[in-house]
């Protein structure tokens, strides 16, 4: 076996394999974002990229693993939207803007958000190392919370619990809204109430934490 020859081939194969993975994910993402998750099957994805359904199983163990790969893409995108906000000087303003960003991300990318925070499917079989993207996003939040404490805006509590509390508060609206659980409010008032509730949450944190 000629080492330099086969090594080149191995590298190319690896590259081609990764390209194929991305091709599948691109096709899947396009379909999911356009038609919603419930209406997209492995066969649809295979058709879209002009391969047989069985081929997809050479690159992803099952549908959940494919969904999880998209879940990771979602986190990359979300963290990308959080990063510019880190430049804001006032830590509390930074926190509020991150909350607003979270909600905006959810409204603009409902399918991705679903995958990241609501759907069961992608979390079914999961290792520790798969959490790096989620960790990164939550890390940004804890850091801002710590800054708020350091600046004396918040009292000093356990940072993790505080961050968790804030995340939950923001996530709550978002999830209820996305899953159409606000039927008790008349359609027209809904956006207003959401907005008021968000502002009230920020105000309450400001005063009470």
Partner DNA sequence: TTGTTTGATAAACAGTGTTCAGTAAGTTTG
Partner DNA sequence: CAAACTTACTGAACACTGTTTATCAAACAA
Query: DSSP 3-state assignment of 9?
Result: helix
**Using rule CB under 8 A, residue 170 touches a copy of itself:** yes
Exactly one of 45, 128, 150, 188 binds a copy of itself (CB under 8 A); that residue is 128
Structure-token pair, residue 19: 């390209």
Quote the radius of gyration of the chain (alpha carbons, Å): 21
Task: Report the nearest approach of a copy of itself to the CB of residue 58 (Å).
Answer: 25
At 63, list the tokens: 């549908």
Q: Are 209 and 162 in contact (CB under 8 A)?
A: yes
Interaction between residue 64 and DNA (CB under 7 A): yes
- Residue 192 in contact with residue 185, Cβ under 8 Å? no
Q: Which of 11, 15, 35, 52 binds DNA (CB under 7 A)?
A: 52
- Chain residues 117-146 in contact with DNA, contact rule CB under 7 A: none
- If the CB atoms of residues 59 and 113 are measured against a copy of itself, the closer one turns out to be 113
Interface pattern 129-148 for a copy of itself (x via CB under 8 A): -xx--xx--x----------
d(CA 107, CA 111): 9
| Site membership for DNA, residue 17 (CB under 7 A) | yes
Binding site for DNA (CB under 7 A): 1-2, 5-6, 9, 12-13, 17, 20, 40-44, 50-55, 57-58, 62-64
Binding site for a copy of itself (CB under 8 A): 38, 117-120, 123, 126, 128, 130-131, 134-135, 138, 157-158, 160-162, 164-165, 167-173, 175-176, 179-181, 183-185, 189, 193-194, 196-198, 200-201, 203-209
């Amino acid at each position: 076996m000629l080492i330099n020859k086969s090594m080149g081939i191995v590298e190319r194969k690896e590259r081609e394999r990764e390209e194929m993975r991305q091709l599948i994910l691109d096709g899947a993402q396009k379909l999911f974002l356009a038609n919603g998750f419930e209406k997209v099957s492995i066969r649809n994805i295979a058709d879209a990229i002009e391969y047989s359904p069985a081929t997809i199983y050479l690159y992803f163990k099952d549908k959940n693993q494919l969904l999880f790969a998209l879940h990771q893409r979602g986190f990359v995108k979300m963290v990308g939207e959080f990063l510019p906000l880190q430049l804001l000087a006032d830590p509390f303003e930074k926190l509020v803007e991150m909350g607003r960003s979270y909600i905006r991300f959810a409204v603009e990318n409902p399918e991705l958000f679903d995958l990241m925070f609501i759907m069961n499917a992608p979390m079914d079989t999961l290792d520790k190392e798969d959490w790096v993207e989620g960790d990164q996003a939550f890390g940004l939040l804890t850091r801002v919370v710590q800054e708020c404490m350091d600046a004396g805006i918040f009292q000093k509590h356990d940072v993790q619990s505080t961050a968790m509390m804030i995340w939950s508060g923001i996530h709550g609206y978002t999830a209820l809204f996305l899953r159409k659980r606000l039927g008790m409010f008349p359609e027209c008032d809904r956006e207003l109430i959401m907005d008021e509730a968000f502002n009230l949450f920020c105000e309450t944190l400001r005063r009470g934490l």
